[in-house]
Amino acid sequence: MEQYEHTCMIRGDGGKAIRAILDRICDKWTMLTVATLEQGRMRFSHLHQHIPGISQRMLTLTLRNLERDGLVSRTVYAEVPPRVEYALTPQGESLIPPALALARWAVEHNGEIQASRDAYDARSK
């Protein structure tokens, strides 16, 4: 039995939990946010500057979801004006190695995948 099927059987949910987590962490904004936070604690504005193309609203939603999942911590400092910083939790930091491995795989196989896409598209015309 394959490991994935075995895992789904143990959980008894047909893979629902696995899919829900992968849907969250494989979202493009989540991975970019986690990768940016790997550099250390950051304020919202600093994060926003370092994640190309993300809107303030999408960054807010992404950070809330990551905080809810326990991957990011949010610290509010009682200052005027208030200061809020975000950081990866130990659980969030544990996501970095598999994410980097997946990114390496994507870079290594990008040429092959693009060639397959081009060939498929040429056949489909």
The domain spans of the chain are 28-94
Tokens matching residue 24? 């969250």
pLDDT of the residue at 7? 59
Q: What percent of the chain has pLDDT over 90?
A: 62
Question: What confidence category does residue 67 fall into, taking pLDDT thresholds of 50, 70 and 90?
Answer: very high
The per-residue pLDDT for range 20-60, each reduced to its tens digit, is 888 888 888 998 999 999 999 999 999 999 999 999 999 99
User: Is residue 17's pLDDT more than 90?
Assistant: no
Q: pLDDT averaged over the chain?
A: 88
Q: Report the DSSP pairing between strands 42-43 and 83-88.
A: antiparallel
pLDDT at 3: 67
Q: Given a cut of 60, is residue 1 above it in pLDDT?
A: no
Query: For 101-118, how does the pLDDT look when each residue is reduced to its tens digit (9 = 90+)?
Result: 888 898 899 999 999 999
Whether the CB-CB separation of 86 and 37 falls below 8 Å is answered with yes
Taking alpha carbons only, the member of 62, 86, 61 closest to residue 75 is 86
The bridge status of strand 72-77 relative to strand 42-43 is unpaired
- CATH number at 28-94: 1.10.10.10
Say if residue 16's pLDDT is above 70.
Answer: yes
Q: Is the pLDDT of residue 81 over 80?
A: yes
